[in-house]
Amino acid sequence: MRTHLVLPDDLVDEVDDHVGKRKRSEFFAEAARERLRRQRLSKAIREGAGILDPKRYPHWSTPEKVDKWIRDLRETPSSYDKRVARDKKRGRISPRHKRAG
């Protein structure tokens, strides 16, 4: 689509110096997409702020608690990990695990 924009001369000159006149439209399209992506992200962050009640999610109430929660998750075997270990011990290994391990 063609459109008409009024831009300061110094801005256009600087863009042309960096990408050339033939890449000007591509540059401004990419800049607009990036700006829109940031605005959508900012809006999502604002709308989502405060949705996690610290009373229901105390492990997410401070950055320190979040850090500890993540470390604990990584250190604690999941039910999947436990099931795979149990099945290996019993000699019941799925074909998927035979290939991997």
Average pLDDT score, the chain: 87
Least confident of 2-16, 26-40, 44-58: 44-58
Report whether pLDDT(92) > 60.
yes
pTM above 0.95, yes or no: no
Residue 2: inside a domain: no
Question: Which structural domain, as residue segments, surrounds residue 22?
Answer: 9-48
The total of other beta-carbon atoms located within 10 Å of residue 65's CB is 14
Residue 26: inside a domain: yes
- Return the pLDDT at 98: 55
User: Both 62 and 84 in a single domain?
Assistant: yes
User: Both 13 and 33 in a single domain?
Assistant: yes
Report whether pLDDT(47) > 50.
yes
Residue 14: inside a domain: yes
Q: What is the mean pLDDT of residues 47-68?
A: 88
What is the count of structural domains for the chain? 2
User: Both 91 and 65 in a single domain?
Assistant: yes
Q: What is the mean pLDDT of residues 26-48?
A: 96
Residue 25: inside a domain: yes
- Dihedral of CA atoms 9, 12, 16, 19 in degrees, nearest 10, equals 170
